[in-house]
Every structure is written in structure tokens, then in C-alpha cells.
Amino acid sequence: MKLITRDTDYAVRALREIAQSKEKMVSTVYLEEKLGIPRAFLRKILQLLQKSGILDSAKGNQGGFILARPAQDILLLDIIKVFQGDVCVSECVFLKEPCSQKSCCPLRGELKKIENYALERLGAVTLKSLSANTRK
């Protein structure tokens, strides 16, 4: 059971790297070498982060990516949402076949509590705090 997919995990690593960089723009090639993430996949991930407003980008020579806002304003929850949609632990397993049991389903209540807790924790973690944790 995974709360975090590989996209998200890679994204966090790349973002930490970008946050810590002193360069103006950080390129995919640089990140690939530093992190060992397959380049094409990493590119897709960075493009998504750009579209969602977490990264700014520059095309052309010397181009690359940079944080669109300070690291303390980027939440782990924001990053998760880009790749995994809304955090919704209590999602009905029959979401697509309109479910007749929504109001009486014996699981929803408990799952909702867990979801709320998860949202609270994930919303409290910023990219900045994730970077601080590094020096173990």
C-alpha cells in the first residue's frame, strides 16, 4: 500500500536539489547525473511541475528549471497532488459505478479519520523542511 508513487518520490528529490542549487537554472541533464533518475522520465516529471506552477522554466541554451516560489511555500501535499491527484484515502472503491452505499458504508467513517490525519501531516511539511532533514 503506497501513499507515495515513484513520480512523487523523484519529484521531491529533484526539487530538493533545485532548491539547494546556487545556479540560476538547473538542467535536466545535471539532475539526471546527480540523482540517477532516467532522463526522459525526469523530464516528464519536471514538465509537470512546471505546468502546475511549482517550477519556472527557461527554454534554450543555459535554460532549465528553478523554484517558482520559496521552498517554505511549497508543501509536500502540493507535490503529491501533481502526480497523484487529491489525497483521498477514503475514496470509494466503486467510484465509477455510482455507489449506492455511500451513506451507509461501514468503512467510510474510519477511513475519513485517517485521511484527515494524513492531510494534516502532509500539509505541514514544506520542501524546506524536507531539505533540512537531509543531514542525518
Partner DNA sequence: TCCTAATGATACTATATAGGTATCATTTGT
Partner DNA sequence: ACAAATGATACCTATATAGTATCATTAGGA
49: nearest Cα among 68, 26, 72: 68
The interface with ligand FES within residues 87-126 (CB under 6 A) comprises: 92-94, 99, 101-102, 105, 107-108
Place of cell 539532475: 31
Residue 102 binding: pick among DNA, ligand FES, its own copies, none (C-beta 5-8 Å cut-off by kind): ligand FES
Q: Which residue has 501513499 as its cell numbers?
A: 3
Binding partner of residue 41 among its own copies, DNA, ligand FES, none, CB cut-off 5 to 8 Å per kind: DNA
Cell of 64: 532549465
Partner that binds at residue 133, options ligand FES, DNA, its own copies, none, CB closer than 5 to 8 Å by kind: its own copies
The piece of 23-31, 48-56, 57-65, 128-136 that touches its own copies (CB under 8 A) is 128-136
Contact call for residue 106 and its own copies (CB under 8 A): yes
For residue 31, give Cα distances in angstroms to 2, 6, 40, 69, 122. Answer: 25, 16, 12, 19, 25
Q: What is the Cα–Cα distance from 72 to 127, expressed in whole angstroms? A: 6
- The letter for the amino acid at 127 is L
- Contact with its own copies (CB under 8 A) among 34, 39, 51, 113: 113
Question: 47-106: which residues touch DNA (CB under 7 A)?
Answer: 47, 50-51, 57-65, 84, 93
